[in-house]
Amino acid sequence: MMNRSVACVVLACVVGACTDEKLAEVKPVASATNRTAATPSAGNAASGTNATAAPVNQGTALGAGIEALLVPLVRRDKGADDPVQLMARLVSLLEESGLGTAETRSQVASLVMKDILAKASAAGSAGGELTSMQRAALKELARQIAADLWRRLPVGSATVHLGSMVGIAADVEVPEGYLKAPFSLIGGFSYEEGMKLPQHIADLNGRKVGMAGYMMTLEEVEDIHEFVLVESLWSCCFGKPPEVHQAVVVTIAAKKGVDMTPVPILITGVLDVGEKIEDGFVTSLYRLKADSFKELE
């Protein structure tokens, strides 16, 4: 059975049905403020590469600051999208975290804020108070942006990595013997609870597939054995949230789990298709038992 934390992630992200009380009951697996994320792996079955070994949880304060910066954008508060003020606040957060130099902080802050504003605008939002789904997704997005900034701006370093920031999963090639299953395929139909699934979706059951996307959890950062794969955290926060058929519950069966990463990942494994119901809710339609885990640059 899917554990409660993963069920809450799915419900919070895709239907907003995970209550604040349930979210509060889920305790973080790791919360040390000085932990550095190891190279993602799951024994011999699932492994990833992360040359920079981004410290996911070392930037706890930075993540909280970015979350506070994003909340007004999601609510569409007046003046919240002022690029000058946003950049100044981000530069201040980077300085407080001791990242980079004055020059590199300004350089990266400008790039990141342009990216954030562009993605927020593209995702759209009705504004107003945040739902439980938005709060959960926003916390995850802020944490991943913070981790990405640690990758870009090593402490005290004058060098900077200007690669693309967390966004929408790229279209990638999958290993031989696996069927490519992009979100446009698995989520490209109108889903209703209890419906007979389209034949091309039903035919995916039991197939070996490859899927690219982003990890979403509730606070876990290392030795993760279950997480939700989504195409984009931005839609969870700003735009129309993905529906239950637009998210995949991934299980890492190996003894060693994987570590949180802010970059897109490619997962391969056997896909289980069909409604899974817990506490009266359809908590998932797709479940993927992973046999490999790879970070995509």
The domain limits of the chain are 1-297
Residue 54 burial by Cβ neighbours in a 10 Å radius (0-12, 13-18, 19+): buried
Tell me what the mean pLDDT of segment 209-218 comes to: 86
pLDDT at 36: 33
- Work out the mean pLDDT of the chain and round it to a whole number: 76
Lowest mean pLDDT among 18-22, 56-60, 144-148, 245-249: 18-22
Bridge-based pairing of strands 265-278 and 208-216 is antiparallel
268's CB contacts (< 8 A; 6+ apart) are: 174, 175, 178, 208, 209, 210, 211, 290, 291, 292
pLDDT single digits (tens) 36-89: 333 333 433 444 333 344 444 445 788 899 999 999 988 889 888 899 999 999
The per-residue b/e assignment along 89-102, b for 16 or more CB within 10 angstroms, e otherwise, is bbbebbeebebbbe
- The one-letter code for the residue type at 93 is L
Residue 8: which pLDDT band, with cuts at 50, 70 and 90? low
Q: What is the mean pLDDT of residues 128-154?
A: 79
| pTM greater than 0.85 (yes/no) | no
pLDDT at 293: 92
Report the alpha-carbon distance of residue 184 to residue 226 in Å, rounded: 23
For 80-138, the pLDDT digits (tens) are 889 999 999 999 999 998 888 888 888 888 888 888 888 788 777 667 888 777 787 78
Q: What is the dihedral of CA 118, 142, 1, 251, to 10 degrees?
A: 70
141 vs 139: CA distance, rounded Å: 6
What pLDDT does 175 receive? 93
Residue in 19, 13, 18, 20 with CA at minimum distance from that of residue 244? 13
